[in-house]
Structure 1
Amino acid sequence: MAHTNLGTEAEQIQHTTPASLESQNTKLLMLGALGVVYGDIGTSPIYAFREALVASSGGGSVATEESVYGVLSLIIWALTLIVTIKYVIFVLRAGNKGEGGTLSLMALARTALRKRSKLILGAGIVGASLFFGDSLITPAISVLSAVEGMEVVTPTFNPYVVPLTLVILAVLFAVQRLGTGRVASVFGPIMLIWFAFIGLSGLRHIVDAPSVLLALNPTYIVYLLSDSPGVAFVTVGAIFLAVTGAEALYADLGHFGRRPIVLAWLAIVFPCLLLNYFGQGAYVLSIGGKVGRPFFEMNEGWALLPMVLLATVATVIASQAVISGAYSLTRQAVQLNLLPRLTILHTSETQLGQIYMPRVNFLLAVGVMLLVVGFQQSSNLASAYGISVTGNMVVTTALMFVVMRHLWKWPRSAVIGLTLLFGVVDLGFFAANIVKVREGGWVSLVVAAIVIIVMWTWVRGTRLLFDKTRKNEVPLDFLAENLGKKPPQIVPGTAVFLTSDPTSTPTALMHSLKHYKVLHENNVILSVVTASEPYVPPSERVRMERLNDLFMRVSLTFGYMEHPNIPKALAICRKLGWKFDIMDTSFFLSRRSLKPSPNSGMPGWQDRLFIGLARTASDATEYFQIPTGRVVEIGTQVTV
């Protein structure tokens, strides 16, 4: 879910300019989608056809004519069924107020089927965890495969492939703090050139063996799968490399809109990909079935070096998209309380979606570089790639079933039929990839397992902590009534007490009364709520309830794609009758010091992990954008 000024600014213009400019704006959005949405799937021809051909040949270096036809037919129909039919026609319709992505779809499904809320939450966590695995593997395999193209230029370059890849990745992660907006304006044009090059490159070689167009016939898939089932199973797993990146169509829905994404796919990306794959097949047939690096080899001569350089730039752009997507997904997870608060830096003054998360960037950089050093070649990483993507697509199909049946109210027969069609394809690809655990697929599973454990621990720990602290808290209505009848010493000003439970007295308020024996003339019990929608309009931001002359209860609601800004939101209260003045207000926060307990309700290791996660959470003052000079923190010790 990469965010770019190119896309979002154009989308804003689309809503504010006359209808005569709609076509121009759509073209601009299509250009932005090329640079962000289609970076991953657009660079798949570099390695997908080669890996599938090697697999179909049983690891050999020469492929038969039937293998070439079968592999091409599988790629063509995989792109058609998974990308064009599943994502373009159906999944892109499931926008959560314009936003897409695994967690966005999960939030949509939870509103449609509240009785299975926990089950849907679990599915969302699994899908998000698999996406994080994809975020690690995509930059590694993409940049590594592009740099390997230099070996075609000169074999003596082989010792420098890994070092150069590490340098490119280091630069890529180092510039993340600048924000994608500064480089977004060149992403689209570069990817447009890329698709034009790979399309023309393929078209030029189709004439070498026009019979390659016979691969349009799906019967070649049957021949390939039935000829040698064992080899065919591995081939299917390799074929899936051609559709990795399809999930980006839905993830970036909110930044470009459905129409530009669909038009870019049908008018540019899909035709150019098909031409290139057909061209690679024709080239391999014309040289007797020899399997090398057909993507680069069929551009020998003056076009080879420019293609290698362009491929390197394109893969960096593809990596940028998935890295930015990891930031967006993490922010959604934080807002949905699946992860502790993390530092979020905004890199654009006008675009909310332009964010940088230092901790996430560091973890991604370390993980990606370890993969490059550990696997050395893109072929070795290919086995690790498919599991995370296929798993994510299986989760998407399951959540789409809930949305189609329970939210859209589609007929049961149609929903079941579509789910079976997509499910069989997704599960078939997942099964073909899961067998490659030993060859590298374990990476995806390990990354996903770590993220699942972290999210599960945080959700479980916060729930247990909430239940435990709630037992010791005094009902707010009871306290307000008693203090209204017999108030302590009153001091001027306004005190805002942050709490996650607006029905109970905040710990900071109880300790303030206990130690200071005073009460402010205006006391606001403030809670922050995350909605199941990505954005909440200002009219629905604030809810106020006056308890008595001393106390008022305020609830602020933010969308899961928004970064909470409490002072700005409280300014809305002026229109509702509360004359809020930030310079006359003190914010009281409870800082809990957590201690492990043998009776926490969680295993000891999970108890310690939750405490560690809580300690790494970013400061609430910074996260809620409260002026530091107006904050009073009161510490308490809690055993969990």
Structure 2
Amino acid sequence: MDSHAFFHQHMKTWKQTILLSFQIVGIVYGQLSTAPLYVFGTMQAADLASEEVVYELVSFIFWTLTIISLVKYASIVLKADDGGEGGTVALYSLLCRNAKVGLLPCDTSSNEVMLYDERSSCAKMKGDSRARRAIEKHKICHYLILFLAIFGSCMTIGDAVLTPALSVYSASTGVQRSLTDILKDIFASTPDTEESVSKALKYVPVPSACVILVGLFMLQHCGTRKIGIMFAPIITVWLLFAAAVGTYNIFHWDVKIIYKISPLYLYKFITHIDIRRWRLLGSVILCVAGSEAMFADLGHFSKKSIKITFICFIYPLLLLCYAGQAAYISKNLPAPDFNHLSQSMPRHCKHLFIVLSLLSSAVGSQSTITACFSIINQCLALNCFPRVKVIHTSKKIHGQIYIPDVNWLLMIFSLTVTVGFRDIVKIGNATGLAIICGMLVTTTLMSLIIALYWEKNLMASGCFLVCFGFLEAAYLSACLLQFHKGAWYLVVLLAVSMTVMLSWHYGTMKKYEFDLQNKVSAEWLIEISPGLGISRVPGIGFIYTDIVAGIPAFFSHFITNLPAFHQVLILVSFKSIPVPYVPESERYLIGRIGPKDYKIYRCIVRSGYCDHIRDTGDFEEQIIRSIGEFISIEQKDIESTVSPDERMIVVGNSRVDGNALVPLDEDEVEVDTSWSVNNDSQISPVDERLESSSGAKKRKKVRFMLPDNDSSPKMELSVRKELLELIDARESGSAYFLGHSHLVVRHGSNFLKTFFIIVYRFSEKNCREPPVALKIPHAALVEVGMVCTI
């Protein structure tokens, strides 16, 4: 690359970083930026008894922002990304790959097939260590780490419910106070009118907050990029405005507040500690609300842009804002509502504050909502959340997603919190508990990452855990003091989300174990065919199963009662592995079951926890193309065998070299649907059966042909014949077989097991159906019911 091209590439990279940094302000840092609306406002006014207490609190805010947001997250935790993805599930994924702690459903054959080899693994197993041996040996550690990952995910969900309610309601109450002050000046000469207007304004916060919340959640379908472009200017203007007012307050009220950030005031606070002082820390922790989103939203942006934006823009402006508000509070302790940000606004800025606070409060909740979408998307792949529809909102950045069902549930719960509590202090207490619990989970998992993934000594891991864990444990104790004043609601949210996630994981594991115990060998299918008089009908049968070896029980049950199956059978298994993304060239594992004459294939589709290959419209075409490639390279690729029972080959489009099926677009060639296979370069026509019975639009299908003899002169006749048979089968139509297992609890089982299964069955009944998730046409679907007694 010459210098001119290098310069242009460098400038393009920096332009992209600057653009992402701008979008980040509205997405990732919205919650951090709007925290001044409620940090001091959630404190009891009676607890702010003197100037010294205010000075001690502003010192706590400065050091908390510095230690947790700047040092822990921006400098350390962001480095622990999993292929560009962040959050507790990403940390869990790293631990699963670097220590054998995974508890996802798997068996020995699955491990042989699924795990990356030395060339393709992005996280190659490193040297052995005492810590790794100890964790791998004790099963209780595996359950504890999985529990921490699910617990941290639930805290993110709880934060996404509480933060929108807190930020919007605090802004609404601030607007109500500002309007009251303005109207007092207008109606100063008519006290009766002033009193009636003030009473009317008391009812403004709740309905206005509800309207803003509904509007916020209705905007989510626009996608992260559009929302970022819309929201970034609002948060930027808000931060500049708040910092400017803070700077004014510092010089107007108490310029010495700058010196109060000294650690000496931390010491004074601790030496004069009592319950009233200690519970103030439950509000102080809200100043770092949104720091976890810096890591959880990593899949939507880049590390460089997140770090640059925080250090150069967010961090200094927030410090000015908090210092200015503290300067005002320290000199206005007797004033009414002195601890609310709206009261520290100069009189001539009230009107601007009303507009900006309402807009920024709505925007400020975006980071938690976006983080919630990312976490749930990752939990789906780990079988820890019921099936929901995931919509990718960006073609360039794969991690930008929208989940409609989750979005509306978050809206309902946020409205419930707003209408039910109608108190900024109570909502703030619950939010603070959610924030600090999530941070403690990240600290614990990060200490394991330092020891097992980064392979630092135990001293470094222990220092990280003790330093940050001790500070966060102190904040946790302060939040627990407010348990009876609103924080209990988080426990309710936690109980609901944990029950759903644990039940789904438990039910999924039990189904998989049942399939493993009741599967039949491939030899059984081959040996029993002549005895039952099984006939082969034209077409392709896709058998979807979770197991990667043997024949699933539901299909053996089917052919025992109806002795017929298609001339080509493809057993399709989806397997998620603990990596964010699997490259297209390493995604499909193809193998053959039994002799060639039986034409039975196995296709294992590997995916990362951020891949959503099942939602693509051309999934069937990808499988057909992969099997065609397998047939063409099978004889040459003896070294690719990864299973002793069934030869499995990793296929990728780059390895075909013209020796597989050639796809043709529908518009490139016209084919008569009555045509039959009679030469070496035939094309499979569109399958009309793929049109759903509901009258939905036809799905555009890719048609295939064989390469001509000039482009593929070395293709053996047997290979060409088998490929033609595959095209012929596809022309005849496709059927899709799915097992529908009904979990039944054995009589006499304990209450917990029964409860989990009941919740699982309820979730399964109300979540997205597997045929819908796989985009299987209803007319071609065959579901086989099985009863699983556990």
Q: Which amino acid aligns with 1:124?
A: A
CA contact (8 A) 1:110 1:117 kept: no
For the pair 1:388 / 2:434, whether they are aligned, the reply is yes
The normalised TM-score by structure 2 is: 0.75
Residue in 2 that maps onto 1:86: 72
Greater displacement, 184-193 / 200-209: 184-193
Report deviation, 1:182: 3.7
Residue in 2 that maps onto 1:586: 735
**Partners of 1:168 and 1:358 in 2: how far apart?**
18
Q: Name the SS for the 1:333 alignment partner.
A: helix
Residue in 2 that maps onto 1:633: 783
- The one of the two structures with greater contact order (alpha-carbon pairs below 8 A, sep at least 6) is 1
Report deviation, 1:422: 0.8
**Partners of 2:389 and 2:522 in 1: how far apart?**
31
From 229, 233, 241, the counterpart of 1:189: 233
Residue in 2 that maps onto 1:242: 287
**Partners of 1:17 and 1:586 in 2: how far apart?**
52
Q: Which amino acid aligns with 1:518?
A: A
For the pair 1:258 / 2:303, whether they are aligned, the reply is yes
Distance change (3 Å), C-alpha of 1:215 and 1:611: same
Residue in 1 that maps onto 2:612: 563
Distance change (3 Å), C-alpha of 1:189 and 1:467: same
From 274, 281, 290, the counterpart of 1:229: 274
Residue in 2 that maps onto 1:27: 18
Distance change (3 Å), C-alpha of 1:223 and 1:127: same
Q: State how 1:138-177 maps to structure 2 within 5 Å.
A: 138-155=163-180, 156=198, 157-177=201-221
Q: Name the SS for the 1:586 alignment partner.
A: strand
Distance change (3 Å), C-alpha of 1:74 and 1:488: same
Report deviation, 1:79: 0.3
Report deviation, 1:589: 1.1
Report deviation, 1:592: 2.7
Report deviation, 1:595: 4.0
From 276, 285, 293, the counterpart of 2:330: 285
Residue in 2 that maps onto 1:40: 31
Q: Name the SS for the 1:561 alignment partner.
A: coil
Q: Name the SS for the 1:492 alignment partner.
A: strand
Q: State how 1:441-460 maps to structure 2 within 5 Å.
A: 441-460=487-506
For the pair 1:206 / 2:257, whether they are aligned, the reply is no
Q: State how 1:524-603 maps to structure 2 within 5 Å.
A: 524-548=570-594, 549=596, 550=598, 551-565=600-614, 566-567=619-620, 569-570=622-623, 572-573=625-626, 574-577=628-631, 584-599=733-748, 603=753
CA contact (8 A) 1:596 1:611 kept: no
CA contact (8 A) 2:515 2:552 kept: no
Report deviation, 1:608: 1.7
Q: Which amino acid aligns with 1:190?
A: I
1:72-121 residue CA offsets vs partner (Å, 9 max, x unmatched): 00000000000111111110000001100111111112222212433211
Residue in 1 that maps onto 2:703: none
Q: Which amino acid aligns with 1:233?
A: W
Distance change (3 Å), C-alpha of 1:571 and 1:148: farther
**Partners of 1:464 and 1:449 in 2: how far apart?**
22
Q: Name the SS for the 2:86 alignment partner.
A: coil
Distance change (3 Å), C-alpha of 1:293 and 1:568: farther
Q: Which amino acid aligns with 1:587?
A: Y
Alignment coverage as a number of residue pairs? 622
Q: Name the SS for the 2:543 alignment partner.
A: strand
Greater displacement, 615-624 / 269-278: 615-624
**Partners of 2:357 and 2:621 in 1: how far apart?**
45
Q: Which amino acid aligns with 2:19?
A: L
Q: Name the SS for the 1:618 alignment partner.
A: coil
Q: State how 1:415-494 maps to structure 2 within 5 Å.
A: 415-480=461-526, 483=529, 488-494=534-540
Q: Which amino acid aligns with 1:554?
A: C
Greater displacement, 20-29 / 211-220: 20-29
Residue in 1 that maps onto 2:701: none
For the pair 1:96 / 2:141, whether they are aligned, the reply is no
Greater displacement, 499-508 / 592-601: 592-601
From 364, 370, 374, the counterpart of 1:324: 370
Report deviation, 1:453: 1.9
Identity rate of aligned residues, in percent? Answer: 28
CA contact (8 A) 1:50 1:294 kept: yes
Q: Which amino acid aligns with 1:586?
A: A
Report deviation, 1:44: 0.5
Report deviation, 1:606: 2.6
CA contact (8 A) 1:212 1:281 kept: yes
Report deviation, 1:571: 5.2
Q: Which amino acid aligns with 2:302?
A: G
**Partners of 1:191 and 1:331 in 2: how far apart?**
27
Q: Name the SS for the 1:603 alignment partner.
A: helix
Residue in 2 that maps onto 1:8: none
CA contact (8 A) 2:574 2:604 kept: yes
Report deviation, 1:246: 0.6
Report deviation, 1:368: 1.0
Q: Which amino acid aligns with 1:174?
A: M
**Partners of 1:269 and 1:27 in 2: how far apart?**
15
Report deviation, 1:483: 4.2
Q: Name the SS for the 1:500 alignment partner.
A: coil
Q: Name the SS for the 2:85 alignment partner.
A: coil
Structure 1 gap segments, 5+ residues each: 1-14
CA contact (8 A) 1:346 1:356 kept: yes
Residue in 2 that maps onto 1:340: 386
Residue in 2 that maps onto 1:4: none
Distance change (3 Å), C-alpha of 1:177 and 1:256: closer
Q: Name the SS for the 1:148 alignment partner.
A: helix
From 58, 62, 69, the counterpart of 1:76: 62
Q: Which amino acid aligns with 1:567?
A: E
Report deviation, 1:326: 1.9
Greater displacement, 114-123 / 468-477: 468-477
Distance change (3 Å), C-alpha of 1:207 and 1:532: same
Report deviation, 1:139: 0.7
Distance change (3 Å), C-alpha of 1:285 and 1:367: same
Report which of the two has the higher share of helix. Answer: 1
For the pair 1:113 / 2:89, whether they are aligned, the reply is no
Distance change (3 Å), C-alpha of 1:352 and 1:621: farther
CA contact (8 A) 1:380 1:439 kept: yes
Structure 2 gap segments, 5+ residues each: 1-5, 101-135, 181-197, 632-659, 662-725
Q: Name the SS for the 2:347 alignment partner.
A: coil
1:550-578 residue CA offsets vs partner (Å, 9 max, x unmatched): 22111001111121324364255044337
